[in-house]
Amino acid sequence: MGSRLSCWRGGSLTRGQAYRWGKPPWLRVSARKVVDPAPRWAVASIFRVGICPKIFGGLRVTDWNIEVGEQLKRVAIHEEYGGRRQGGIGPSRVTPNVLLFTDPAKGHRHGYFDGWGDDGCYHYAGEGQVGDQKMTQGNLAIFNHERDGRALRLFRGVSSGVCQYLGQFTLPAERPWYLTDAPETGDGPVRSVIMFRLRPIDAAPREGVQLPYTPPPELRVDEVDVEQQHTERSLVDPAREPYEAERREAALALAYAEHLRLLGHKIVRQRITPPGELKPLYTDIFDATENVLIEAKGSVTREAVRTAIGQLFDYRRHINPRPSLELLVPSRPRQDLINLCGDVQISVIWPDGDNYVSSSG
């Protein structure tokens, strides 16, 4: 039993040196094969100490020989390096790699919005198409890749079954991931998704999809035209068509903004990007002359009014000096909802012919 084991890092050592503390409990070796398959952490342990498991039938180490920019079939990648053959995250049990696959053209259907940020990182959505994503399974494999001795290898889909290798990545020590909102598969409800910040090690120059926004380290508040009808939902799910209530809301806001301009007021929208948030918040109307923040709703239902109250308070905490709050609706709400708004010091406004009526008199 003094045979020597080749080492994937170079050199060799005797089996006694390799197992100087005794045979690992997770690997029983016969003359021909591995009797017990090694779990994921065990494979990583082999890689860390530099023992090449290619002599064992169930495990192997293959030198990475795919060049950055090279295109090849996904099935060939898995045949050589292991990993799941479907899905975006493929932790390998036979090589020290976590294979990552991105296809922005298809990913949008599942609520995945990957791309390069202006921080130099590739922002990569975690796995999980339904409900809030959790740090488990493939997501946990990415998060623990360095601890487990694995490399993150990113591929981009370029055609049916063909991928392009973008290079090796790692997670930065500071803020390796963050949470943002995205729709479920098939334009389902909005949920919380994990976004990993993949820092390139040997990747090619930043090619492909660029994120329109990158989470800033500090609060950003700037003014945009009211006519720019951005909404938070359109940023979360850009493929979705606006609902009829949203169309009414947009028309209502534009009409009231024009009414205020005719009175000599400066009318804008506030674009608010909180620290660490991927997508900005957009107010409907900001009256800079009177320092009033106005949220428009296309319906007078209780749900619409309660949603508006939450939005107004969410926006206001980022605006200095602190503005007054108003809710713009298409018609007079029932009295209990007017009382609800009054209780939190929000005035309600609705059109009345060519003029507007306010609950505050």
pLDDT digits (tens, 9 = 90+) for 207-248: 777 887 788 888 999 898 887 665 555 444 455 445 666 788
Whether the pLDDT of residue 337 is over 90: the answer is: yes
The overall average pLDDT reported for the chain is 81
CA distances from 305 to 8, 20, 226, 256, 327 (A): 64, 70, 21, 18, 8
The Cα 155–Cα 210 span in angstroms is 16
pTM: 0.64
Contact 64, 97 (CB under 8 A): yes
Domain residue ranges in the chain: 4-55, 71-200, 220-358
Assign 30 a pLDDT band (cuts: 50, 70, 90).
very low
The β-bridge relationship of strands 285-287 and 267-273 is antiparallel
User: Tokens at residue 66, please?
Assistant: 């795919």
CATH number of the structural domain 220-358: 3.40.1350.10
Give the 3-state secondary structure of residue 88: coil
Task: Answer with the residue of higher pLDDT: 42 or 305.
Answer: 305
Residue 33: per-residue pLDDT: 37
> First and final CA of the chain: distance in angstroms?
95
The predicted structure's pLDDT at residue 110: 59
Domain 71-200, what architecture? Roll (2.30)
Helices and strands (H, E) in the chain, number of each type: 9, 19
Cβ-in-10-Å burial (0-12, 13-18, 19+) of 21 comes to: exposed
